[in-house]
Amino acid sequence: MSVCPLAERGEGPHHGRATLVGAGPGDPDLLTLRAVKALGSADVVLYDALIDPAILDLVPARARRIDVGKRCGRHAMQQSAINRLIVKEALAGAHVVRLKGGDPFVFGRGGEELDSLRAAGVPVAVVPGVTAACAAAASLQIPLTHRDMSRSLHFVTGHGSDGTVPGHDWTALARAGGTIAAYMAGRTLPVVAERLIAAGMAGATPAVAVEHASRTGERRLFATLGTLPALLAEAGFTGPTLVLIGAVVGLADEAAALQRLAA
């Protein structure tokens, strides 16, 4: 494939390029070495709202930093405008780094940005990042897959573009018997749980909600699929919340998890 080598050399008709960089779930220690290198060569950085300030410290002082993040439904910039800005800066000759929380291609809309850059003939590279489900599972020491318990893993979004729960194949998810990682499900969990239970998943299935996975102030709430929605509402989680559902959640040592959180 020629796209990535072109992007790394900065070649192309306008000598500009773009790199879609996954910043991970928040903890700067979870950045990849390749992400650090990309940030170090950036001329322009378009970053999400939840990026830790310590990560931005890796950007050269000469580089421009542009906040394009989304906060509680308020968009600093619409996605279509972000796409146009990345293309514009790259065509002007800059190395544009689009710094995204988690992984660019896991509910990060990186595909839309990639399409825009390809259509404009801009060389582009993609740097993967640690996605929230993996970070949360590692923090809680929950194996997302387990040979004796969960042989499949399903990433689903709990929040569609219109703010409602998307129309997943709930029956297939319930029957799979694997682990479900529901992204952006903090506010929509009552509907997600209702539909999974209606599709045949036991209400007693272990579940955990994790707010701000890997970041300072991370909070965890263990319960069951049937009881977690009400408990989560009482807990008042307001930050980005991931919900893990499945038998493997029952393997977590809650006391140890709380100790690690306080450490």
* Residue 128 CB partners (closer than 8 Å, separation 6+): 22, 32, 103, 104, 105
Angle, helices 189-198/228-235, rounded to nearest 10 degrees: 180
Cα 74 from Cα 259, distance rounded (Å): 35
37 is catalytic: no
Looking at residue 184, its amino acid is: M
DSSP 161: T
Active-site residue identified among 29, 37, 43, 70: 70
Paired residues of 47 in beta bridges: 67, 99
Angle between helices 132-140 and 254-262 (to 10 degrees): 100
The set of residues, in sequence order, having a beta carbon less than 8 Å from that of 162 and lying 6+ positions away, is none
- One-letter amino acid for residue 217 of the chain: G
Q: 253 an active-site residue? A: no
* Active-site residue, from 48, 52, 100, 103: 48
Catalytic amino acids? Answer: 48, 70
